[in-house]
Amino acid sequence: MNKYEWFVLLGFITITVFFISLSFKNKDLAVQVKLPKQFSRTATEGGKLFNKNCMACHGQYGSGTEKGPPLIHKYYEPNHHSDRSFFLAVKNGVRPHHWQFGMMPPIKGVTRSDVEKIIPYIREIQRENGIF
């Protein structure tokens, strides 16, 4: 092999290892979630909205997936990420700052009223899991 071929091979290996390491790190972030015995009426509605709009990336009950972080995590407790941060995330998207996931885009079609129902759903699960 000439120098150019070695350089290309080394670049390919480096990129492959980088993406594999991100994949393993993200998969290891999913958490076990305990559910409340009963949700409030607002949280029950919020759960349906969460499943429709958020679950694909944030996982069932906010437990996380390889696409998005767990919301049932101390990073998202109210003193660190207030309810306002959830409204802003849905409206504007989020640059990665705690996790090695890509940028979260704004979520089209999810209204402020929807987020007002989703937040209690997440907060009630967080509370059951000792987040606050």
CATH number for the domain including 97?
Answer: 1.10.760.10
Q: In this structure, how many other beta carbons lie within 10 angstroms of the beta carbon of residue 59? A: 22
pLDDT at position 99, please?
83
pLDDT bucket at 122, cuts 50 / 70 / 90: very high
pLDDT at position 23, please?
45
Structure letter (DSSP) for residue 35: P
How do residues 60-110 score in pLDDT, each as one tens digit?
A: 999 999 999 999 999 999 999 999 999 999 999 999 888 888 999 999 999
pLDDT at position 48, please?
98
How do residues 10-61 score in pLDDT, each as one tens digit?
A: 555 555 444 444 444 555 567 899 999 999 999 999 999 999 999 999 999 9
Element (H, E) at 67: none
Structure letter (DSSP) for residue 104: B
* Domain around 15: 3-128
How do residues 64-77 score in pLDDT, each as one tens digit?
A: 999 999 999 999 99
Query: Cα–chain-centroid distance for residue 12?
Result: 29
Q: How many domains does the chain have?
A: 1
Backbone angles phi, psi at 49, to 5 degrees: -70, -40
